Amino acid sequence: MGTTFRSLGVPNYRLFTIGQLVKLLGVWMMFTAQDWLVLELSDNSPGALGVVTALQFVPVMVLTLWSGRLADRYDKRKLLIAANAAFAFFAIVFAILVASGVVELWHVFVSALFLGIANAVETPVRQSFVSELVELHLLPNALALSAATFNVARIAGPALAGVLLALLSTPGVFLISTVLAIAPVFTYLRMRPADLYRTERKRGGDTRVIDGLRYVGKRHDLMLPIGMMFVIGMIGFNFPVTLAALAKIEFNAGASTFGLLTTALAIGSLGGALAGSRRSARPSAYLIIGAALLFGVFEIAVGFAPNFVTAALLLVPTGFFSIYLAQGCNHRVQMGVDPEYRGRVMALYVLVFLGTTPIGASLSGWWGEHFGVPSSIWAAGMVSFAAAVGALIWELRSSGDRLSLRMGRRPRLTVISPPTEPTDLPPTEPTDLPQPRPADSQSRPGESKSRPAERVGERSGVKV
């Protein structure tokens, strides 16, 4: 347990986690109530759910790369204070509309768009800000705990919303969730800027988006997880649309029962996040490809589930491998990028992971409306599985590795790397590998801590 939660010993990271947990509880309550409200206002239309989800993520498509540029150029903490304050303001306005009883479907659409704008700025900045909260050797654990925090909220939020929808009705849920959404503003204000691990920014130069794209284009080790998540994030991760429709339309469930499906998915996701919390090194490409293959298999199974209980049980391993995959890709990208490009690279990752949701959500809603909700789930699982197979073929061809299957009492699949050519030169340690700071290092008051370059070369003498 001490190993799992060791990043919480850093005061700034502890404040960050508390603020995110409280906010995300409110956000998941809000989204659960919002999905139910949309179905009530649209006469149970999966297409309307798809439109709302798309509007939440259209700003991510448009603004995320620009937000990554801001993250590499300006103070991330101040940017996060502003973005969270804007999110809280838009949430308050929408909660007032719901509580007053005048809310209409177009109000939900507009609110989703404005909340999406705030999230489009906040998400890539927050993703890259984690690296400033802890030292390098704690970064995998900090990222894993951030994912675990997200999934704790995803478990508790919908479950609590389901109960409150029955006790207080929809307006009460929106009012409570709005109060919780303000928490990060106060936790960011309480942080100590002098204790952040910041990298000195280059002076006099322009931080351009195109430079970040070119940087990723030259790095196969970054292209593979980003490319795989482009497909799976767009097609496979549309549970906000599919689960609500599956519960209400396919299984004729009520509001509180709908929350159980989301909770089952989140329980598995929490397990996947905690499973990666002990990771101390950059995950291999084959690890994340394996997680993607298993995610595709279980999502297909959910689509063919004959009843509510079976679907809920299958959502647990589906959630496990979904977050284990997403977290592994995040770790592989974050731990292999130069600090000066981190904001722009993480913005690109958020763009392909979340920014493609408008396309996927709209397609999933349309497919469910015309061919049935279950088919929209198993078809997404098949696409995710195919994307993982394509990534595996790409990695094997690029690396020269090959797969070896040993049959017997315990069948085993292994990866065999090609032999390295001998050299007369003495072995040297690559200079571009991450060098952790001593655990007891301290900065003088008023000075910012800096971290050496963290780029990990895929073929620089160390097999990763």
Per-residue model confidence (pLDDT) at position 436: 43
174: its two tokens: 């929106």
Per-residue model confidence (pLDDT) at position 155: 64
Per-residue model confidence (pLDDT) at position 318: 93
Helices 342-350 and 308-334 pack at an angle, to 10 degrees, of 160
Per-residue model confidence (pLDDT) at position 441: 41
Per-residue model confidence (pLDDT) at position 27: 86
Residue 180: partners with Cβ closer than 8 Å, 6 or more residues away: 22, 23, 25, 26, 27, 29
Q: Model pTM?
A: 0.67
Per-residue model confidence (pLDDT) at position 438: 41
400: its two tokens: 């020269």
Cα(58)–Cα(67) distance, integer angstroms: 14
Per-residue model confidence (pLDDT) at position 2: 58
Residue 98: partners with Cβ closer than 8 Å, 6 or more residues away: 37, 170, 171, 174
Q: Quickly count: other Cβ atoms within 10 Å of residue 165's Cβ.
A: 22
3-state secondary structure of 182: coil
Per-residue model confidence (pLDDT) at position 84: 92
Spatial CA neighbour of 225 closest among 70, 299, 334: 334
Cα(73)–Cα(309) distance, integer angstroms: 49
Per-residue model confidence (pLDDT) at position 355: 63
Per-residue model confidence (pLDDT) at position 422: 55
Beta bridge partners of 402: 416
Give the largest Cα separation in the chain, rounded. 79
Per-residue model confidence (pLDDT) at position 457: 37
Query: What are the boundaries of each domain within the chain?
Result: 8-195+211-406
CA dist list (Å): 207 to 75, 100, 342 = 14, 46, 12
State in Å, rounded, how far the first CA of the chain is from the last one: 27
Per-residue model confidence (pLDDT) at position 1: 53
CA dist list (Å): 239 to 8, 101, 284, 318, 367 = 30, 28, 27, 11, 14
What CATH homologous superfamily does 8-195+211-406 map to? Answer: MFS general substrate transporter like domains (1.20.1250.20)
Per-residue model confidence (pLDDT) at position 294: 95
Pair 384, 296: CB distance under 8 Å: yes
Low-confidence ranges of the chain (pLDDT < 50): 203-204, 425-464
Cα(9)–Cα(22) distance, integer angstroms: 19
Q: How far is CA 139 from the centre of its chain?
A: 16
Per-residue model confidence (pLDDT) at position 418: 77
